[in-house]
Amino acid sequence: MSRRDVRTLALAALGGALEFYDFIIFVYFAAVIGQLFFPPELPDWMKQLQTFGIFAAGYLARPLGGIVMAHFGDRLGRKRMFTLSILMMAISTLGMGLLPTYAQVGIIAPVALLALRVAQGAAIGGEVPGAWVFVAEHVPPNRVGLACGTVTCGLTVGILMGSLAATGLNTMFTKEVILDHAWRLPFLLGGVFGFISVYLRRWLAETPVFKAMQERKALTEELPLRVVARDHWRGVAVSMALTGLLSSGIIVLILMTPAILQKSYGIDAATALSANSLSTIFLSIGCILAGLIVDRIGGARFFMFFSPLLAISAFILFMTLRVDPSWLFPLSALVGLSVGTIGAVPHAMVHVFPAAVRFSGLSASYNLAYAVFGGLTPIAVTVMLQISPLAPAFYVLMFSIVGVITGFALRGQQKL
């Protein structure tokens, strides 16, 4: 890759990390938000329910935001939407940090919080697919996997940053100080970082692929989403299947595992969260390794051979911990590295859609599938846990099989 490609990739990954930090920081302060933004006479469970309802609204807004931004990204340019997404996130996160509480303005506080969370969801819906398309169209064809894997690594680093920020704040300040004003600091910091990323993205250039389409007047004249639905259903099916694989790894083995370890395995919260941080670090490394490998062997063989690693690592983790919990940290690292196989997912997605509707096809498929799986996965795994303590591993196994089948389906696909 050229120096310009490396700079583009670095700025895209940095922006993705900061934007995902902004999106995820909300959940780490859900308890504080529940106390500050809802009537004090409500029972605690109701406050938490309403807080997580607002958190979920961000996920529900992702498909709409992603589809709208992708539409204009296919018509007006990738760079404009890539910059708009992070600007929306910066404004929304900074706004959260400046919001008055329920004690100050009453019902206006939770309503304003909901509006800002919806804006965050719309922003992240455009950012993730936009980042994958942007870097894939900048780098040489034999480096698309590495580029997309590096951006995905940036997103996972954003999750780690949110966790570390929450841990640091709770270490430095007492609960009373956090409730009084310190809870605002991670949001204000995220907003400031967001505006810095907006400034840095000014130095990015439009993708060579989009500029070439403009020069040839090859941009689609129809509604891009209509073209995708009519002519590229196979690409939609592949993208949604791989999004299922991605979401099962992230949601079950990264986001849900700390709570499962505490409830079903008797591991204390501090130890479970520390192991989860280690897992996230190895996840970030795994994303880059997956990108390097998929560039060498192609998406078809990658998913046929590497999808089973998710299920294998999950079974090793949950079966071993039932017998010997002392293996928690090395096995968490193994699981994180295995989940890193998701770093190859965008490589397949950007190749199953033609350039003229690539942003719309990828964004619609990814965001709609993630909205479905993001909502159903925690419920399904929780219900399955009533039947077997190995339910998380069986759930991941199901999508590992989907990954293998998708790999077979990709055989013969150009560039895959």
Q: 364-403 pLDDT, tens per residue?
A: 999 999 888 877 888 888 888 888 889 999 999 999 999 9
Alpha helices in 173-298 (DSSP H): 175-177, 184-201, 208-215, 224-231, 233-247, 257-265, 269-297
Question: Are the CB atoms for 336 and 282 separated by under 8 Å?
Answer: yes
Closest C-alpha to 136, from 352, 336, 302: 352
Average pLDDT of the chain? 89
Residue 40 DSSP class: T
Rounded Cα distance between 294 and 77, Å, is 27
SS3 398: helix
- Which pair of structure tokens corresponds to residue 324? 């010997």
Distances (CA, A) of 364 to 14, 205, 211, 237: 24, 24, 23, 11
**Cα–chain center distance at 344:** 14
SS3 39: coil
Model pLDDT for residues 237-273, shown as the tens digit of each residue? 999 999 999 999 998 998 888 888 888 888 887 788 8
Model pLDDT for residues 302-327, shown as the tens digit of each residue? 999 999 999 999 999 999 999 999 99
Closest C-alpha to 314, from 279, 366, 284: 279
Rounded Cα distance between 128 and 374, Å, is 15
Alpha helices in 100-143 (DSSP H): 102-105, 108-136
Q: Is the pLDDT of residue 20 over 90?
A: no
Residue 248 DSSP class: I
Residue 401 CB coordination number (10 Å) = 14
Give the chain's length.
416
* Residue at 35: amino acid letter: Q
- Which pair of structure tokens corresponds to residue 131? 């980042």
Rounded Cα distance between 110 and 93, Å, is 15
Question: Are the CB atoms for 113 and 33 separated by under 8 Å?
Answer: yes
* 279-285 average pLDDT score: 94
106: left (phi over 0), alpha (psi -120 to 50) or beta: left
- Which pair of structure tokens corresponds to residue 176? 């009373």
Rounded Cα distance between 390 and 131, Å, is 35
Sign of the CA dihedral running 324, 326, 330, 335: positive
Q: Is the pLDDT of residue 218 over 80?
A: no
Distances (CA, A) of 390 to 315, 316, 322, 356, 393: 7, 10, 10, 44, 5
Residue 249 DSSP class: I
- DSSP of 9-25: HHHHHHHHHHHHHHHHH
Q: Is the pLDDT of residue 98 over 90?
A: yes
Distances (CA, A) of 213 to 77, 138, 173, 303: 10, 14, 54, 31
* 60-88 average pLDDT score: 87
Highest mean pLDDT among 19-23, 26-30, 65-69: 65-69
* 28-41 average pLDDT score: 86
Q: What is the pLDDT of residue 316?
A: 97
Model pLDDT for residues 38-63, shown as the tens digit of each residue? 998 888 878 877 887 887 788 788 88
Rounded Cα distance between 136 and 351, Å, is 9
Rounded Cα distance between 111 and 98, Å, is 14
